[in-house]
Every structure is written in C-alpha cells, then in structure tokens.
Amino acid sequence: MSKIKERIEEIERITRKSRRINNTLWVLVAIFVLASIGLGFYASAKAEEANDAKILLNDANEQLVESEKELQRKLDSMVRVSVGDLWQGAKTINTLKGYSSYKAQNPNDSIHGEDLIRAVNNLLNKSGYVQLIETNGNKLFEKVDLALDGDFVKFNTDINVRNGAIGIDDCGSSNPTKTGVLVNGKTVRIKNRCEASGSESVWALIEYAQ
C-alpha cells in the first residue's frame, strides 16, 4: 500500500508539473500571438505613415517644380524686358559702337537679330571707294574690332571717297571722281578689296554712315 500511495503522489506531482508547463506554454503562446498582432498593427500604422509621408513628399516636389517654373517664367520675362530696353537704347544711339555693344551683351538674341542687321545696314547708307594701302606699302587704316558681321576699319587721316579706284581696272568707275571725304577716325565696313598689279596699292569698296 505504501508503494502504491507513493506512486500516486508521484503521478500527482508529475501531473501538477505538467499542468504548470502547459499553462506556461499557453501564456507564451498568448504573448506571442498578442505580440504578432501588435507588430501587425504597428507595421500597418508605419506603412500608412510612410504612405502619407510619400504623398506629402510628392506634393512638396510638385510645388517645388511649379515654383521653379514660375521663377523661370519671371526671369525670362525680366530678361526680355532688359533685352528690349537695351535694344531701344542701341536704336536711340544709332551708332556702330552702340549696336556692337548690344550684340556683345546679347550674342544669342533671337528677338532682335534681324532688326540689328537691318539697323546696321540702314546706318551704313553711303558707299564708295577708298585707298587702304598706298603704292609704297604705307597702310592708311587700322582694324576695328566690333561684335558685328563684317570687316570694319578706321583711317589714320582724312581720306577722299571716290566712285572708283585710281589705277585699278574693274574696280568701280574707270574715270574715278571724288564723291566725299572720310574724317580721321571714322569707322567703315569693307565690302570688297581691289589690288593693283605691279604695285602694293590696295583699294576697297566701303560702306559708311553719312
């Protein structure tokens, strides 16, 4: 009997221990399940926050792009106004130097490019023949650097303008006469040159302002 009683008590102890282990396992399972659910809610909340943040970021980017476009439109408008003012100033001055200054400041002007060409051509409304180099090789002109199309020069002294070159065939009138005078320092545009055979003399057809 004593052994049977001891065996029963041992079984009861094992049973109680098993129940405790089982209860502990159930508690752990419950904690794991609750933690999983909590993590799921947390992940869902974080995903929603991330989505909201992405939407806000996209909105901010769109606003930034639109702001940059608006700023560029304003800058373009200011540039057009500035270019327009400069062009009006150049037309008012109406000199080769003034037009050259405008072209240098606006080399890629697509608005007044043709107007500039016409303005320069209208300014240089006279033409004639002048001697550039004398028969002895003495050069009478200096090159002028302008931001305009063409070859520009000025003369070191007053010089006569004629309707043809003296001593050169096929360069204007065969009986050249004086048609005007260029004062010292006046800038002209060379159209073409005529070289004499047998000497160093060079003449040119020029365009100049009256």
The list of the chain residues with pLDDT below 50 reads 1, 71, 74-79
What is the residue extent of each domain of the chain? 1-93, 125-208
The pairing of strands 159-162 and 178-182 is antiparallel
pLDDT tens digits, 81-93: 578 888 999 999 9
pLDDT tens digits, 166-195: 999 999 999 999 999 999 999 999 999 999
| Cα 96 from Cα 153, distance rounded (Å) | 12
- Strands of 126-133's sheet in order across: 141-144, 151-155, 187-195, 202-208, 126-133, 159-162, 178-182
